[in-house]
Amino acid sequence: MTPSRPTGKHRRHTPQRQVILEELCELRTHPTAAELYALVRDRLPRISLGTVYRNLEVLCADGLARKLTLAGSDARYDGVVHRHDHVRCTGCGILRDLPRGALQVSPVAPAEAAGFRIEGYRLEFQGLCPSCRTGADPGAEDRAD
Ligand SMILES: [Zn+2]
Ligand SMILES: [Zn+2]
């Protein structure tokens, strides 16, 4: 006997999850769960970090957000789910999107030459952002559009 429950296909969006998704999509800074929690709390004062974290996992599982696990840092979340690459500042740690098609050459070719059927790849450029290059406050950059 299986109880008649809706499949996971059309998962119900709780109001909390909707707020989390809205905040994530508005931010282009690829926040960590803790950073997003600080923002979401302005709108949902009683929410917990654990709840934000769990909802982010559901959003990722549903394909509405992407989880970015990068070497040496906490997982970050991305409201932009189409294929794109990132550049990360080694000074302040901000992560920015690169425009689609920014790469002139597919980085997959060498892996295919090794006989693999490539299903995906992750590419992250590293360097100093404009603020860090000029020694300005990196926080100011985050809020500029
Ligand atoms: Zn920087
Ligand atoms: Zn991104």
How far is ligand 1, taken at its centre, from the CA of residue 29, in Å? 12
Element (H, E) at 132: helix 130-134
Ligand nearest to the CA of 100: 2
Higher pLDDT, 117 or 145: 117
Ion ligand 2: residues, CB within 5 A, are 78, 80, 97
The rounded distance, in Å, linking the Cα atoms of 135 and 68 is: 27
Ligand nearest to the CA of 140: 1
User: How many other C-beta atoms can be found within 10 angstroms of the C-beta atom of residue 104?
Assistant: 5
How far is ligand 1, taken at its centre, from the CA of residue 61, in Å? 30
Ligand nearest to the CA of 24: 2
Q: What is the DSSP string of 71-94?
A: TTS--EEES--SS--EEEETTT--
Task: Please report whether residue 27 resides in a domain.
Answer: yes
How far is ligand 2, taken at its centre, from the CA of residue 29, in Å? 8
CATH of the domain at 33: 1.10.10.10
Which pTM was predicted?
Answer: 0.70
Higher pLDDT, 37 or 97: 37
**For residue 77, pLDDT beyond 50:** yes
Are 59 and 41 within one domain?
yes
Least trusted range by pLDDT, from 2-16, 65-79, 98-112, 117-131: 2-16
Cβ distance 76 to 95 under 8 Å? yes
Task: Please report whether residue 142 resides in a domain.
Answer: no
How far is ligand 2, taken at its centre, from the CA of residue 3, in Å? 39
Task: Please report whether residue 144 resides in a domain.
Answer: no
pLDDT digits (tens, 9 = 90+) for 90-133: 898 888 888 776 666 677 888 888 898 888 777 788 899 999 99
**Whole domain around residue 15: which residue ranges?**
10-79
User: What is the pLDDT at residue 21?
Assistant: 96
Are 73 and 95 within one domain?
no
